[in-house]
Amino acid sequence: MPGLGPGADAGVDDDEGTCIEDDEDTCVEDDEDEDQVVIDRLAKTALDLSRGAVWEFRPRIVDGGDLGGTMRLGAYDATLTRGSRVARIYGGTEISERHRHRYEVNTGYKDRLEQHGMRFSGMSPDSILPEIVEYEDHPWFIGVQFHPELKSRPFEPHPLFASFVEAALEQSRLV
């Protein structure tokens, strides 16, 4: 995910997973989505919450310890907030994106996270599962629960990748 929030250090990938350079407790296993780190970092820094309070980092164990059936896999619809950056990028408020994960946001913290600048700009159609977060006051800060790379091609980049490159070019002109 691009960025980790206002004032946060850049993330690094290593053999042990994705980590925040100054915080070994914010490492996640390779199969965990990096957007978890985005929300976890804000929860730790702005809300002073412990790791995992906002994210369910540990998968739910079912039927004798098997993880089967807990993965959200395949295409799922999402509803985007009108006027949000992602709604402008997609050119509408209804999308379908491909998922592959076992973890979800604990929406009990949604209001508190929003008070610190995080906008939940994409939700499942029933408004239960967050799909996209963004910071409005950042040149381009978008965290997604899905995998846009699965719908991207060399000469047909996913709209999020194309808009990220455009924002980077714009920022480079300001330097």
Looking up tokens 């490159």 gives 165
* Pick from 163, 147, 11, 18: nearest CA to 73: 147
Q: 79 lies in which domain range? A: 11-173
In a domain, 60, yes or no: yes
Q: Output the pLDDT for position 37.
A: 67
pLDDT tens-digit map of 122-156: 999 999 999 999 998 899 999 999 999 999 999 99
Range of lowest pLDDT (14-23, 104-113, 159-168): 14-23
Distance between first and last Cα of the chain:
23
The string of DSSP letters for the chain reads ----STTPPPEEEETTEEEETTEEEEEE-TTS-THHHHHHHHHHHTS-PPTTSSB--SPPPBTTTB-TT--EEEEEEEEEPTTSHHHHHHTSSEEEEEEEES--B-GGGHHHHHHTTEEEEEE-TTS-SEEEEEETTSSS-EEESS-GGGG-BTTB--HHHHHHHHHHHHHHHT-
We report the CATH number of the domain holding residue 156 as 3.40.50.880
Q: Output the pLDDT for position 36.
A: 61
Q: In Å, how far are 54, 62, 63, 65, 172 from 70, measured between CA atoms?
A: 18, 8, 11, 11, 42
Tell me, yes or no, if the pTM score tops 0.75.
no
In a domain, 121, yes or no: yes
In a domain, 3, yes or no: no
Mean pLDDT of the chain: 75
In a domain, 126, yes or no: yes
pLDDT tens-digit map of 2-44: 333 333 333 333 333 333 334 444 443 434 455 566 777 777 7
In a domain, 6, yes or no: no
pLDDT band, residue 82 (cuts 50/70/90): very high
In a domain, 5, yes or no: no
Instruction: Give the count of domains, the chain.
Output: 1
- Answer yes or no: are the C-beta atoms of 113 and 54 closer than 8 Å: yes
Q: Output the pLDDT for position 21.
A: 39
In a domain, 108, yes or no: yes
Higher model confidence: residue 8 or residue 57? 57
Cα(98)–Cα(148) distance, integer angstroms: 7
In a domain, 2, yes or no: no
Beta strands 72-80; 118-123: pairing state = antiparallel
